[in-house]
Structure 1
């Protein structure tokens, strides 16, 4: 019986090629879009769950509270992890993990030309490969990190430095100072791992490295510390034990409170990558909407074509077929359409996957596509789609009464027409919402990139350098400045828009402690970035005393509770305020400008901070310069003073734009899936217009015989659909307005939602609908009326 039903379904599919194609293509597009988002969201939520004991692993976080302002540091002291493991019974194991401060230069000792800058170098306890479930391809996981200056490399690092040669036993040079011996090779870390490394060295090596000796000796909170708890342990009680285990955590003199928090390993990804987590819940909603559009498109065409199958149902019922048997037939028929659409959609998803994830700047292992959990998710998606797509047509078609059908009264009933109108309004309503959202997001992104932030970002290149180059700051900067295209230069500790330091201070006339963001820069920084003075220094040489001079912004006056003219007043009784800058955005536009303090250091200071720890040089390039040629000249100077670290540069504008990756990703997804939604809606409208034209062919033939023009016939077929589209626009506009109003509340600086955005979306949707309908309407209107009247 089922075989017979499938034969009938296949014949129906072949017989109605236009409708079948529209159904299959529309459903395939919706499923492909849904699969892409399922892959993306599934990948984001799968982070770190591949570890065998993932549910019991936690990372320790230190909370420091100064007055009312808490800050969170994802580290503990060097000794605190092992001590806690010994004294707290609920802790089963402990692991210390330390990523390198900055990019390090790694060199193959046997082939010095194989030298690269690496930013995935870390140190870990010997139990690293027992604690985590990373695969060790060579080496004994219990002993590969036992000895100082031993290192395990990833597959990609082994191939990069040694090619096909076995690297075990070979030697690496770390910053041309320390020799590390390769003791093992690990499989590349999965793309859904928050712990990512190419080199993991024994943590005991750090005791002999001057860069880290101070952190270890003074037990600074510098080490990422993971705890594996017993399955019966209560993390909250362990947090309390960590606090008591590490002594009195309150420094009453400085009003500082410290406590430890435990963060589940499986939640760390979203904590570390706020850009990824900010809108992750929106994407499943977009996937559901796209799939609903495809299903509605299918259901709409199925109800439209139901009248052509009604006599078949009536005859079968007269011959004794029960409703259940007819429902099963049409359920299997719809299931066949869905399975074919799913297969087409899957191959479409695989084809689009590299482009889609490249567009979003997301790395994903190909193996994840075939992971059991993803295959299970796709299987569930197939079952849900089959049920939703098949159940309504099966119920509708099996419900026809044979007497009504065979008497030809079915066409007079309006139930099906009402459902089709609802589906059309729903489809275009969703499309209009997506279009308006895409427009608002695009305008907000444009506003971000062109807002007046108080900083002149044009043609400024940032060149990070190490302490080796910083020790020669004067000649280094002089040679950069001597490049004809460089009009000005400056030095600082950190690249702008990539972080700042924090200082705890007491506000004036109060014992309350607050955190004050700080930047350490040289005397040219203010003029190079075009920063404006709110209260200029009395002495133009305001940087006269390097150790105690400070410049604050306007917001800092209120934050520090300063009264009257702040010039000459002191911060913490130590740093004298020499000037006040107008507020400028030194971080993202998501938040209002916060207080800021600039410490001005001369480049020629023998003990300048960049001579101790490195920094960044800002070079402003003259307009209309040959940028590639100028970059090459900067590289030549850089390599003269920086012999180990490879040349890197970043434009200030790019660093500013990089703060909005999450919004940029959201804009790209909305743009892509708005296109999907419009295409699906167009296909559904085309199918309905085709069906209505066929259904009314005799009426159109009579009208043409009686003198109706092509224009009249086209208007007749178009007006009902266009009314539905206008109704969809009217319903969708306030919905989109509310959604985008809520979204814009996330930004301290934002655009206003304007009427033209709705006018543009509405007009565009109407034009798309008109073009879709007109193609079929004009084709029908130009048909010879004698053919229509001759048709039975």
Structure 2
């Protein structure tokens, strides 16, 4: 080991490059491994989690408060069931202090039998009394821990409940981290369960029905029986092959049926986890290639030491073990640095991932086992290839010097090409993601957005404030707007071929209608408040004749039985990420309730100071009316449109970060290799210069050699990048066309990095005096 440390000390540049590359790459591997581990562990700590299911409808876990007990009573394969409500009401308070969260969980008494939870104070029996409540540990800490027991919780500002127990937070579960848990039998929940209406066909968001199957029960048999029970209350024409869905609990977190906050649950993104994990693995491979590349190239500098050991009787197995221990020691150092880098980067990475379960670096037994596997696998690959290469030569060949004249560059060429391929692909994906985001933000709205401000205060009195502001030119009221519908209707049109039609809703008064500036195609002269303005897509999908406009009578309730006032050009009533190209829309033009509608304000001066002041006034009005701040989106209209793309912008930033790391690894590898080979080729360059070569000719010849590797990488990477970018763009309805410049730019960036990395060392070698170079030999 001492000789290895001396070797590293004599080759400081190469050692630094290896340490930096591997440490940075391992830091990302650690973070993403923890991210995947934690996301895949959701709900898995519950016993029998592979036998527990959520009953939902197609594409949703949304359910009904009676369906679990109905199915358990009727299906012998089911062992038990429970219902969980996750709802939002009026604010709660303790000792006059309003709680931050207005949402809560209402559970049945058998919830803790299916989902064992650690009680810090009290026990599950406290819910036998519906007047008791349970709070989570994080909330209890705000009120002195155990001191919270016995305090009065003013539930929804009306119902007095006694806090009788404290449980651990719902950190590693699919359930949201609600602070208040009550008995579903409490009088406040009779509208959900306990009243007379037990129709299992009425579904509601935030209602989760959970059942546990008996051991050995077949999931499909259970689902088939559920469908037969469920379809008894559905007319024949609305029946489908399988109306209900059955989602296993250990898969629910990343299931397509899980609609996240809409269902009152946490939701993970399986595709995101897979994509980021693959990218990080490739980054680690790139860093490992740097290590192998340099160790292989530098093997000649330790070859005599190895040959001497072998001639003195040390066998190849002993030397192999020595090399592996050296590799392990080096990896341990890099791993320690990686933990430091990962810890420093974790807050920023968590902000980009925006996961409902933040990444945490833990050191429990399972995590230590995972870190050990990462360390062992990396050390194995870093140590085994240089060892196998060095064993191809006999000790006597090394002593005689013939090893130095053998070509050691095959691996180097391949590894540099692979690094460039990885860099080109990641750069192309980063540019593609950012370009697609810009393309979606710039989606034509066919309505005015510039100079407009959206005020969401739910207060009619705020009109007085708006009239007093000198920079407010005019305003109107609306519910829904281009980019965000007020709601939507879906129904099936009868005919030879039944057709599903979806209509987005927007309501506004005359002032707001004018401010939005909808582009009118036809105006039928219907008085305000007595008609609906349909988009061109809505007219087409509904089969309406523009010359004789009549809304289908069966569904006239959708437009409040109004006439068709006119036709406007298509307006996207959702962001480009959620756009349904076949969805029409309509605008109901009429007076709006001042306490429920939003203000759409045209600013005569949309300076940053005015926008900031109006945003503050909106927030103050919210607090005045509701007693606390609530998460509503008031703001400058173009900014609100852009905010809708914040999740995907964070993903793009994450890929951009990976791109920077990939470029760094590629540059470091090429700097090191160009430095090594420039030194090794000084004699060859000196001889060529003696026979007429010049600094310019030798520099070009050597630089072109590295650029040739880039050409090979481009030939492979560009088609792969085009394919990956195409697959990515297919996930969007509103997607940009393929742009050739993206892949040209990615290739040029790698060419520029390669040129910058090798130029200075190549010039140094080419400028060396031939006499000095030949003396070294």
CA deviation after TM superposition for structure 1 residue 579, in Å: 2.5
Give the match for residue 265 of structure 1. 249
- Tell me the secondary structure at the aligned position of residue 562 of structure 1: coil
Unmatched 5+ stretches in structure 2? 261-266
Q: Per-residue deviation at 1:425? A: 1.1
CA spacing shift, 1:621–1:116, aligned 2, 3 Å:
farther
CA positional deviation for 1:510: 6.1
Shift of 1:253: 7.1
Do residues 555 (structure 1) and 561 (structure 2) align?
no
1:369 and 2:362 matched? yes
Contact 1:93 1:228 in 2 (8 A): yes
Shift of 1:58: 1.0
Distance 1:150 1:286, change over 3 A: same
Distance apart, 1:132 and its partner CA: 1.9
**What's the counterpart of residue 78 of structure 2?**
91
**Structure 1 residue aligned with 2:428, among 421, 436, 451?**
436
> Which stretch shows the higher mean deviation, 422-431 or 626-635?
626-635
Q: Is the 8 A contact 1:481 1:489 kept in 2?
A: no
Whole-angstrom CA distance in 1 between matches of 2:42 and 2:54: 14
Is 2:386 the counterpart of 1:393?
yes
Aligned residue in 1 for 2:122: 139
Map 1:119-198 onto structure 2 (within 5 A): 119-141=102-124, 143-160=125-142, 162-163=143-144, 166-190=147-171, 193-198=174-179
Structure 1 residue aligned with 2:211: 227
Q: Is contact 1:710-1:782 (8 Å) kept?
A: yes
Change beyond 3 A, Cα 1:225–1:496:
farther
C-alpha distance in 2 between matches for 1:727 and 1:647: 52
1:773 has 2:769 as partner? no
TM-score scaled to structure 2, two decimals?
A: 0.88
CA distance in 2, matches of 1:642, 1:582: 38
Q: Contact conserved, 1:315 with 1:402, CA < 8 A, in 2?
A: yes
Does the Cα contact within 8 Å between 1:556 and 1:596 map onto a contact in 2?
yes
Number of residue equivalences: 755
State whether structure 2 residue 3 is matched by structure 1 residue 11: no
Residues 554 and 595 of structure 1 are in contact (CA less than 8 Å); yes or no, is this contact kept in structure 2?
Answer: no
Partner of 1:593: 581
3-state SS of 1:78 partner: coil
Q: Does 1:791 align with 2:773?
A: no
Q: What TM-score, normalized by structure 1, do the two folds share?
A: 0.86
Partner of 1:40: 35
Q: Residue 81 of structure 1 contacts residue 95 of structure 1 at CA under 8 Å; is this kept in 2?
A: yes
Return the offset for 1:344. Answer: 1.9
1:421-462 deviations in whole A, cap 9, x for unaligned? 111111112111211221111111111112213343445554
Instruction: Please state whether the residue corresponding to 2:576 is helix, strand or coil.
Output: coil
Name the CA distance, whole Å, in 2 between partners of 1:149 and 1:490. 46
TM-superposition CA deviations, 1:377-425 (whole Å, max 9, x none)? 22221121122111111111122123433332223333x2222111111
Cα distance change on mapping 1:631 and 1:245 into 2, 3 Å: same
2-side partners of 1:599 and 1:213: how far apart?
A: 39
Contact 1:48 1:54 in 2 (8 A): yes
CA distance in 1, matches of 2:515, 2:191: 35
1:240 aligns with 2:221: no
2-structure distance, mates of 1:754, 1:491: 41
Paired residues of 1:505 and 1:515 also in contact (CA < 8 A): yes
The CA RMSD over aligned residues, in Å, is 3.3
Partners of 1:645 and 1:314 in 2: how far apart? Answer: 75
1:342 to 315, 322, 335: 335
Matched, 1:314 2:307: yes
Shift of 1:622: 4.1
Q: Distance in 2 between matches of 1:146 and 1:654?
A: 50
Q: SS at the partner of 1:137?
A: strand
Query: Cα offset for 1:218?
Result: 6.0
What stretches of structure 1 of length at least 5 have no aligned partner? 1-5, 64-71
Shift in CA distance, 728/517, structure 1 to aligned 2, threshold 3 Å? same
Higher mean C-alpha deviation, range 732-741 or range 618-627? 618-627
Q: Report the Cα distance in structure 1 between the residues aligned to 2:676 and 2:113, rounded to whole angstroms.
A: 65
2:275 to 270, 282, 298: 282
1:280 alignment partner, SS class:
helix
Q: Are residues 75 and 314 of structure 1, via their aligned partners in 2, closer, same or farther at CA, if it must alter by over 3 Å?
A: closer
Give the corresponding residue for 2:263: none
Query: 655-664 or 194-203: which moved more?
Result: 655-664
Name the residue aligned to 2:66: 79
Instruction: After TM superposition, give the deviation of residue 672 of structure 1 in Å.
Output: 0.7
Query: CA shift at 1:560, angstroms?
Result: 2.1
Determine the structure 1 residue equivalent to 2:568: 581
Distance 1:481 1:237 in 2: 64
| Structure 2 counterpart of 1:406, from 399, 402, 424 | 399
Alignment of 1:494-643 (within 5 A): 501-507=487-493, 512=498, 514-519=500-505, 521-524=507-510, 525-539=512-526, 541-544=527-530, 549-565=531-547, 567-572=549-554, 574=556, 575=561, 576-590=563-577, 591-598=579-586, 600=588, 602-603=590-591, 614=596, 616-625=598-607, 626-638=610-622, 641-643=625-627
Alpha-carbon displacement from aligned partner over 1:694-740 (angstroms, at most 9, x marks no partner): 21233445566778665455445433222222332233222212221
The corresponding residue for 2:264 is: none
Q: Aligned pair in 2 of structure 1 residues 595, 149: CA closer, same or farther (>3 Å)?
A: farther
Query: Within 5 Å, which residues of 2 pair with 1:10-29?
Result: 10-29=5-24
SS at match of 1:248: helix
- Contact 1:129/1:136 (CA < 8 Å) preserved in 2? no
Residue 449 in structure 1 maps to residue 449 in structure 2: no
* 2:371 paired residue number: 378
Comparing 692-701 and 418-427, the one that deviates more: 692-701
Give the Cα–Cα distance (whole angstroms) in 1 for the partners of residues 628 and 675 of structure 2: 70
1:760 aligns with 2:775: no
Partner of 1:695: 680
Q: Supply the distance in 1 between the matched residues of 2:625 and 2:524 (Cα, whole angstroms).
A: 35
Which whole-Å CA distance do the structure 2 matches of 1:523 and 1:41 have between them?
49
Write the deviation string for residues 337-382 of structure 1: whole angstroms up to 9, x where unpaired. Answer: 2222222222222221122112333355576533443333222211
User: 2:412 aligned with 1:420, yes or no?
Assistant: yes
Using the alignment, how far apart are the partners of 1:598 and 1:478 within structure 2?
Answer: 30
CA gap of 1:450–1:481, structure 2 versus 1, over 3 A, is farther
